[in-house]
């Protein structure tokens, strides 16, 4: 399994129809390529869109020009050959170190899996070490 640290952005917006379509169209118009995008409502009338751009600087420029309310952070990307229980060992290892997982999104396609994993800020360095990374970007 390969593990890396990636930059993600949270876009904060009103929870109404068409928001994700508007953001996606804006990113297309500005040729911003993405590794991942997903959105969800967070509370009455509010929503978040998580974006993992190929080029974080390019995304930030577009977000600034569009005056989007964003927050930048880092998470982990795990990927490898898909098999039953592909994440069990790493999740058990994280649990053994009593590290809290804030969120996890995983998907398998054509025999490969990809997983984005978020830990708490205070556990970021330890989580990096548990995942086998030599340094932790924050």
Class of the CATH-defined domain 7-72: alpha beta
Q: How confident is the model at residue 134 (pLDDT cuts 50, 70, 90)?
A: confident
Overall pTM surpassing 0.85 (yes/no):
yes
Residue 136 has pLDDT above 60, yes or no: no
Residue 138 has pLDDT above 90, yes or no: no
- Please give the Cα distance from 47 to 85 (Å, whole number): 32
- Please give the Cα distance from 103 to 119 (Å, whole number): 7
Selecting from 1.10.3720.10, 3.30.70.260, 3.40.50.720, 3.40.50.300, what CATH number does the domain 75-130 have?
Answer: 3.30.70.260
Mean pLDDT (the chain, rounded): 95
């Amino acid at each position: 399994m390969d593990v890396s640290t990636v930059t993600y952005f949270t876009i904060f917006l009103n929870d109404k129809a068409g928001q994700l379509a508007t953001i996606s169209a804006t990113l297309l118009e500005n040729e911003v390529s993405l590794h991942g995008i997903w959105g969800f409502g967070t509370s009455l009338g509010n929503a978040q869109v998580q974006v993992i751009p190929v080029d974080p600087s390019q995304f930030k420029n577009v977000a600034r020009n569009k005056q989007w309310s964003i927050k930048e952070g880092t998470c982990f990307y795990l990927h490898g050959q898909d098999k039953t229980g592909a994440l069990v060992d790493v999740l058990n290892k994280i649990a053994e170190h009593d590290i809290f997982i804030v969120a996890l999104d995983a998907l398998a396609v054509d025999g490969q899996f990809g997983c984005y994993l978020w830990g708490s800020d205070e556990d970021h360095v330890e989580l990096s070490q548990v995942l086998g990374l030599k340094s932790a970007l924050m």
